[in-house]
């Protein structure tokens, strides 16, 4: 009897110890799971905090002290920044310097002077920046957070420039010339507000000066108007500039969003909205653009309308463009991300095809190039290209009033462009 009772007691004790062991094991697993999830959830906020710190650091670097603030009706804030404090002078080769004096104006052969005044929305209030300062669009935290990454804000996605239908999601309708040495280009560009259907797409119309091979050492200087919801947060057409020396890899940026372009003008805000815009079957408004190389110092100057100098790209920024451009290109470009599965509905130009003509399709007119002696010349050996004519097309012509011109653009996705 005593031995039976002792056996029963030992059995119960062993079962109880086993139960305690299993309970302890379950508690350890639960506790481990809780710690894991806590670490995971705390990791996410830490990563977000690090990103916000990078954003704030970038904003401190790019938004310079101003002497006056102007509020634009489109929501932009324009800061009047002393010209010697602009981002260009953060560059090691420009630090401590000031913008150069304006180059000597020369009369050029074949120069036309029939441009209307260039107007931006921020200036409609009648406010302006004092002499000795430049108007800079203030970059906000929201602007930077819209970008795919803080590092790529203000830069184009890495892409190959191609003259065919496989340009990495970028589609063109352009006129270009090559085979000679070019020292600038000029055109009048019709301004529209094309619809951009994806937050990471854009639609632009511009002049490109290009040199180098179409690989990692490509140099470009670019200027025109663009609609870019990612960069600006809206669908206004905006005056913009761009440059790169390594095929959009690590150098260059839009506007004044890095050390590069030196602005000299106190009336134009690069990146600000253009007003007015052209309307279908209505009045047309042009942006007159010219980029030219100063024979004395070698810098590339940007000029608007009738001789309004905006600023310059210092020649030391470039490798192949130190001497001249080997190609000049005019026209439109869109990003086709195919985010909806088919071709994008983002428009180019007016959103209408070239064959619709004046007051309906977008155009470039009075296309010219600049020679070594700073003279304007008509284009020769012209090439015309539309990557996908069923989506965006182009039609080039010539007459006594518009010189060399072309209509271009289209709606993007349609029955012939699925």
Catalytic residues: 222, 333
**Can you say how many angstroms the Cα of residue 235 is from the centroid of all Cα atoms in its chain?**
13
Q: What is the CA radius of gyration of the chain?
A: 29
Smallest CA-to-CA distance from 224 within 258, 196, 280, 185 is with 185
Query: Could you tell me the two tokens for 190?
Result: 């019709």
Smallest CA-to-CA distance from 265 within 135, 105, 78 is with 135
- Long-range CB contacts (< 8 A, 24+ apart) of 151-156? 153/58, 153/257, 154/231, 154/253, 154/254, 154/255, 154/257, 154/258, 155/248, 155/252, 155/253, 155/254, 155/257, 156/242, 156/244, 156/248, 156/254
Distance of alpha carbon 240 from alpha carbon 256, whole angstroms: 9
Distance of alpha carbon 369 from alpha carbon 374, whole angstroms: 9
Distance of alpha carbon 135 from alpha carbon 270, whole angstroms: 8
Query: Could you tell me the two tokens for 11?
Result: 């059995």
Query: Could you tell me the two tokens for 366?
Result: 């009075």
Asked if 199 contacts 229 with a C-beta cutoff of 8 angstroms, the reply is: yes
Q: DSSP letter at 354?
A: G
Asked if 206 contacts 220 with a C-beta cutoff of 8 angstroms, the reply is: no
Residue 227 CB partners (closer than 8 Å, separation 6+): 193, 194, 196, 202, 203, 204, 235, 236, 237, 238
Asked if 144 contacts 58 with a C-beta cutoff of 8 angstroms, the reply is: yes
Kindly tell me the sign of the dihedral angle through the C-alpha atoms of 170, 175, 181, 182.
negative
Q: DSSP letter at 99?
A: P
Q: 75 phi and psi, to 5 degrees? A: 100, -15
Cα dist from 142 to 118, 231, 232, whole Å: 28, 10, 10
């Amino acid at each position: 009897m005593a031995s039976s009772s002792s056996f029963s007691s030992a059995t119960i004790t062993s079962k109880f110890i086993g139960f305690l062991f299993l309970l302890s094991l379950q508690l350890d697993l639960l506790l481990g799971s809780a710690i894991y999830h806590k670490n995971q959830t705390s990791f996410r906020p830490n990563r977000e905090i690090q990103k916000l710190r990078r954003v704030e650091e970038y904003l401190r670097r790019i938004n310079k002290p101003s002497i006056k603030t102007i509020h634009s009706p489109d929501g932009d804030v324009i800061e009047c920044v002393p010209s010697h404090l602009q981002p260009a002078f953060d560059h090691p080769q420009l630090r401590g310097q000031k913008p150069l004096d304006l180059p000597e104006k020369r009369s050029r052969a074949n120069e036309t002077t029939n441009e209307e005044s260039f107007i931006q929305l921020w200036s409609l209030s009648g406010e302006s920046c004092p002499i000795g300062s430049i108007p800079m669009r203030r970059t906000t935290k929201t602007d930077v957070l819209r970008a795919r990454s803080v590092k790529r804000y203000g830069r184009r996605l890495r892409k190959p420039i191609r003259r065919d239908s496989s340009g990495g999601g970028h589609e063109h309708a352009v006129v270009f010339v090559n085979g000679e040495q070019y020292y600038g280009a000029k055109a009048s560009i019709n301004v529209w507000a094309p619809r951009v259907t994806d937050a990471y797409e854009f639609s632009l119309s511009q002049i490109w000066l290009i040199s180098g091979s179409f690989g990692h050492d490509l140099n470009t200087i670019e200027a025109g108007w663009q609609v870019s919801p990612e960069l600006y947060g809206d669908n206004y057409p905006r005056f913009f500039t761009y440059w790169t020396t390594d095929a959009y890899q690590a150098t260059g940026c839009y506007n004044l969003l890095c050390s590069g372009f030196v602005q000299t003008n106190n009336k134009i805000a690069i990146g600000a909205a253009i007003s007015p815009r052209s309307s279908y079957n209505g009045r047309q408004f042009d942006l007159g653009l010219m980029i030219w190389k100063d024979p004395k110092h070698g810098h590339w100057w940007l000029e608007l309308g009738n001789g309004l100098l905006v600023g310059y790209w210092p020649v030391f920024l470039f490798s192949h463009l130190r001497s001249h451009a080997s190609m000049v290109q005019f026209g439109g470009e869109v990003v086709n991300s195919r985010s909806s599965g088919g071709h994008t509905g983002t428009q180019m130009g007016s959103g209408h095809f070239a064959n619709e003509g004046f007051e309906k399709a977008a155009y470039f007119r009075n296309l010219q190039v600049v020679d070594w002696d700073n003279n304007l010349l008509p284009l020769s050996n012209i090439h015309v290209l539309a990557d996908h004519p069923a989506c965006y097309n182009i039609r080039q012509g010539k007459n006594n009033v518009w010189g060399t011109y072309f209509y271009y653009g289209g709606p993007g996705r349609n029955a012939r462009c699925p």
